[in-house]
Chains A and B, each alone.
Chain A
Amino acid sequence: MKRALGLGEIMIQMNPTEKGALRFQTLYERHVAGSEANTITQMQRLGIECSFLTAVGADEFGKVVLASLRSEGIDTSGVVIDEKNPTAVYFVQRGYPVPDKTMVFYYRKGSAASNFGPQHLKEEYFKGLDLFLVSGITPALSDSCKEASLKAVELAKKHSAKVAFDTNIRINLLKTKENAMKTLEPFIRKADILFTGMGDLAMLFESDFDRSRESLRKMAEQARLLVFKKGSGGIEAIVDGKRYSMPSYKVPVVDELGAGDACDGAFLASYLLGKPVEEALRYANVAGAITVSLKGDIEPLPDWKAMETFLASQEAGEKRLLR
């Protein structure tokens, strides 16, 4: 069995039952989410043996986060329970002020996960590992998280695990373009598999896609695999210099949060299981499409059977109940 390890912050997501400005919402659904954890959960559901590194508060929400990982069968032995700092929370505002777009408001400053540091990493977590995953969010959380992320990349390399990195720029954490580049560059240079999106590319380089893609290829000197997520514009990959692309599926959008993470997870699982690039891209697209059509980042993540069902309905080319 292939093994993957993720590092990042997992938060409580408060998602209103109705669309509209947050201040008028009184009823919320409670979900659990965090970019790397979403990706890792997607991989676990696709048959990869996963474990996760993070810190949670010694509060009710910390228990919810742990339960979420454990219910998937993800190994949580590296999760730190922080007695002093809380589990982070964020709020989602759907469909306002831009219809069909989601906005998020984070309450994560000083959280348990942002106090995770290199001292919490044990080398044994990396032994026999096939893939280590982290995104640009984690080094942006705090200096200690940045150090932990860098050390984890070194440990992964030492134990011959592939390093997967999603640029995942959170400008409210990184503040400026300059700081985004400074924080992310070491990871871009060391990644074996690199994921990015159009917004991130424009932030790091320039708005012209072709030119910024080339700039990224030059910087990502060790990456054999680069994946460009273009939202409703589909997905593109460069593997050993060869370009592949695929349009996205048209589905009704309920909540686009977590779609990029689902893409990463489905792509990485396919890759680890030795599937061809075209198939990996197709599954990445399917996982993304299913995720945008439902609320919550983790709940919609499909297993293989769900993806085959989705593909069968797409190929049937008609909207009918599957019986």
Chain B
Amino acid sequence: MNTPVLNETLDLAAQFPGLSADTRPGYSGWLVPAEKLTEFATFARDTLGYDLLSSVTAVDYLEQNLFEVVYHAYKTAGGPGLEFKVQIPRQDPASLPSVTPIWPGADFQEREAYDLFGIRFENHPDLRRILMWEGFEGYPMRKDWKEAFYEDETKPFKSRWPEGKHSLAETRAAFGDNVSFPAGFDPEKWTPTDPEELLYASLRKYSAEVKDGIKTDHVLVNMGPQHPSTHGVFRAVAMLDGETVVSLKPVMGYLHRNHEKIGERNTFLQNMPYTDRLDYFNSMYNNWGYSLAVEKLMGIVVPERAEYLRVIMGELSRIQNHLILFGMLWNDLGAYFTPALYAFEERELILDIFEAVSGTRMMCNYHRFGGVVRDVDAASLQKIKGLVFERLPRRVEEMNRLLSENEIFISRMKGIGYLSLEDSIAYSVTGPNLRAAGIPYDIRRAQPYGIYDRFEFDIPVRHNSDLLDRYLIRMDEIQQSLRILRQALQQLPEGPVLTGKPQYQVKVPAGEAYGRVEAPKGELGYYVVSNGKGNPYRYHIRTPSFVNITSLEKMCVGTKIADFVTILGMVDIVLGELDR
């Protein structure tokens, strides 16, 4: 049920004094004392070889008066991961050492934990709020924090039945009696300070310099939040020297809806349709990651046919995700909508299948714990076969002819946005962008989930780690997805698609689980903690967009500001899962 450990990690306590195994029932991994964290992280990375830090998150154990910071590290060579935790007293200010100097990919994730839990990470280079704005009062993910229109700790809310009492939310006072103000706040005397002061200060460390006797100044440029090429309400603040980017900070959270808090109010099953709304291009894959985590906790097995259906839907959504990325990338480059609409045609056909199978085009809500909601009918199966065996190979080839050799395109892509192999790993970049840097790291192979170990497919790798390779690798991946689909369709067995009876209130034993899948955009991980009740105690999502964007500054520094648009496009972010 729990993450298996490597042999070498079994006697880890002997190798590293001060370490103790997490013995709570249903839990696994290691407890590290806060003062030894830096030492242990270095040991894990350099001696044990866990070079890829997947997830950093926190859990608020209100009753035990503890904050627990949970780390999941993996090896890019593959295999199971290392889970370790640091427990600190639940007080203000709570603090522990930052691991950002060791794994720079922890940067935004630690900022997120600081933002939502109020845990300070010492030695973090730029510890600011990330999803909420500066000046927001309180830390939303703490168990004693209540949201606007708070009704009850957990769903189902009691007022819905048997008495009804329908009311519209806007007729109530937004915060009711749970509103709180910062200490010493007096509305009479309060004058607003510039909320962006900290952000600009972090950019201003690059001061003006004198070059060739001409006094030049750096210019601050805001891209977004309403910019046609920022893929939603995303904003980047760049410090420019002429046209060259000197430093750049992404600003996010405009679409933040505290998905994780909603998730903790929900029952386990109620979260399923909410996961659709993370990366709304790949709801099938979002469902998969979440059901994988909960199935690990419940210890249930998925029937054969359901496993195949999951693979089929997952790979179809990977294909349409990559096609859309190409289309949108060309939009960013200024080739308005011809490639995008060509891509949309194929996507339409795939979404038609999703609609027939799951009921909705984008918000599929298809997976259930222990299977999928319904079987695919014969007509839809025929449609899928028609697409996979006839149309898609032809159309992907056409897309390739249309785009890949275009000289203007190549000159905009080649050698731009370089991120070295070492940096890619250090910044926890996953998915196609990591493979374009030369590392064949794909969770479908590195730690197979579902039935991916049964299929023959290659993990495409390219080595230049520039935009062109990141584009080409996705072309390769579509081919591999088609290959998997062909095998899956040929092998698809008959049988049930759900283990047990459908139930809306599942019993999930206490414990923790980290379910991760290779989503089209990178590693998608769900960290779920159950305390045996009907609702998840902690529900955290490690989204590929959010972690991959950490390396944005690194890729942009030194390039022209016009290239920022392409670099951002190729990171393949979607705001639904970036801001959550």
Chain A bound to chain B: no
Q: What is B's interface to A at a CB cutoff of 8 Å? A: none
Q: What is A's interface to B at a CB cutoff of 8 Å? A: none
